[in-house]
Chains A and B, each alone.
Chain A
Amino acid sequence: MASCKVVNILYRALPLQPVRDLLIRTHMEKCECCQAQLASRRDAEALLVKPGDAGAAEALWEMIERRAVQAVRVPEKKAAWLSWEWAAGAAAFLLVAAASFWLLRGVETGAVRADLTRPPERFEIDYINVGGAPAQAFVYQPRGSEMVFVWAGKNL
């Protein structure tokens, strides 16, 4: 009992996963007193939705049938940006861009700097893509505010 108290104090005082895991494996998993402080499998089951209660398998298939057939016909293409050639190209481009910025930053004139810092006169948006496909977009600007909210949702 005394060791349980020490273990519990250590568990709360040291929120480090390896320490907590060690305490669980060496003491809490084996100690009846510590186990009594945990919900049993039966307690947890009573709170959860079980697969048998989630819905009839046939009804679930009907829910997804049309989209599933389309998905099988059109398998997802491998994302082109994942290939190492693209990654190497992007890294090289970033390197050149960073070097150019570093070399040319002293050449800027005052006029250019003023132009860059001027606030945009109006908000413009041509289109929004989500996951490579055109998405529904909503633009909202509260009255008297300079904030603009853009909410984009995937077209299903």
Chain B
Amino acid sequence: MDEREIVARCLGGAAGSERALVQAYGPLVLAVALNVLANREDAEDVFQETFIQVFRNLGRYDPDRSFKTWLLTIVYRRSLDMIRKRRRFAEFSERARFEPEVLARNPGPDPADPQPLPSRFLKGLSPKERTALCLWANEGFTARDISAVLGCSASTARVTLFNARRKIKSLLENDHGLLQSR
């Protein structure tokens, strides 16, 4: 089934169409969220919220536009919301000085269950740069396609991608230099 057919079936309320949509685009949505957020739990929340929003608003989707771009726009915005939410909560918990045992209720990832996460180098990039890099490298998006997802002009997207590539190269070279000097 191609993009248009899957969306048309969903709009027509065909049985199993939601499942087909999630199966077709779920891995892409989760991968983008993981690359932007670098946190499995948050990425899964964004994944769920994105598809719920898609199912509720599918009637507003313009079929003349690319469904993938529309979907990725929602993922990007939801990821930014998640980053803001986490930042607010971090500021709040720091000021409130929670007791250590309260913080300990949220355990870290289970080392026996390794889940793929993006490289630590991506932490040197802003969420916008991470998104641009991910769309360019994984999906082959051009600056114009990226601009549609980020909600900016093509020139801003081009500069964002350029800066991301330059920072990554510099980080990789520094790391390589450190490894060689050891």
User: Could you tell me which A residues sit within 8 Å of B by CB distance?
Assistant: 17-18, 20-21, 24-25, 28, 37-39, 41, 43-55, 57-58, 60-61, 63-65, 67-69, 71-72, 74-76, 140, 142, 149, 151
Contact = CB atoms under 8 A, between A and B. Distances in A.
Given A55-B27, A55-B30, 7 more contacts: A37-B169, A44-B133, A44-B165, A48-B137, A51-B28, A54-B31, A140-B96
A65 to B, nearest CB: 8
B48 A67 contact: yes
B140 to A, nearest CB: 8
Chain B CB within 10 A, most for which of A39, A43, A142: A39
A51 B159 CA distance: 25
B61 interface: no
B34 A54 contact: yes
A7 B56 CA distance: 48
Interface of B: 13, 18-19, 22-24, 26-28, 30-31, 34-35, 44, 47-48, 51-53, 55-57, 59, 89, 92, 95-97, 116-119, 121-122, 133-134, 136-138, 153, 155-156, 158-159, 162, 164-166, 168-169, 172
B156 A39 contact: no
Given A44-B168, A47-B118, A69-B18, A149 B95 contact: yes
A48 B22 contact: no
Contact of B168 (A17, A43, A142): A43
B35 A38 contact: no
23 contacts: A17-B155, A20-B162, A24-B158, A39-B165, A39-B172, A44-B133, A45-B137, A45-B138, A46-B119, A47-B168, A48-B133, A48-B137, A51-B138, A53-B116, A54-B27, A57-B26, A60-B26, A60-B47, A61-B22, A65-B19, A72-B13, A140-B96, A149-B92
Contacts of A44: 133, 136-137, 165, 168
- The A interface is mostly helix, strand or loop, or mixed, namely helix
B118 A68 contact: no
A48 B118 contact: yes
A64 B28 CA distance: 15
B55 A68 contact: yes
Contact of A60 (B22, B89, B169): B22
Contacts of A74: 56
A17 B150 CA distance: 15
Contacts of B59: 75
A155 to B, nearest CB: 14
Contact of A49 (B34, B47, B95, B156): B34
Contacts of A60: 22-23, 26-27, 30, 47
Contacts of A57: 22-24, 26-27
B21 to A, nearest CB: 9
Contacts of A63: 44, 47-48
A24 to B, nearest CB: 5
A51 B136 CA distance: 13
> Which of A28, A52, A54, A72 has the most C-beta atoms of chain B within 10 angstroms of its own C-beta?
A54
